[in-house]
A = this chain, B = another copy of it.
Amino acid sequence: MQGTTKYVILGLLTEMPRSGYEIKQLIDLRFRFFWSESYGQIYPELQRLEQAGLVAAGAGTTRGKRSYAITAAGREALSAWLEQPVEKESVRLELLLRMYFAALAPAATTVAHVETFRDTHARDLDLLLRFRDELERIPDPHHDHGHILRVIDFGIRTNEAYLAWAQDAIQSLKGPTRP
Q: Are A147 and B34 in contact (CB under 8 A)?
A: no
Q: Chain A contact residues: over half helix, strand or loop, or mixed?
A: helix
- In angstroms, Cα B160 to Cα A160, docked, is 12
Chain B residues near A30 (CB-CB < 8 A): 100
Q: Are B150 and A34 in contact (CB under 8 A)?
A: no
**A24 interface contact, C-beta 8 A:** no
Interface residues of A (CB under 8 A from B): 4, 7-8, 11, 14, 30-31, 33-36, 75, 78-79, 82-83, 85-106, 109-110, 113, 116-117, 120, 143-144, 146-148, 150-151, 153-154, 157-158, 160-162, 164-165, 168-169, 172, 178
Chain B residues near A144 (CB-CB < 8 A): 103
- Given A82-B109, A116-B85, A116-B86, check contact A96 B151 (CB 8 Å): yes
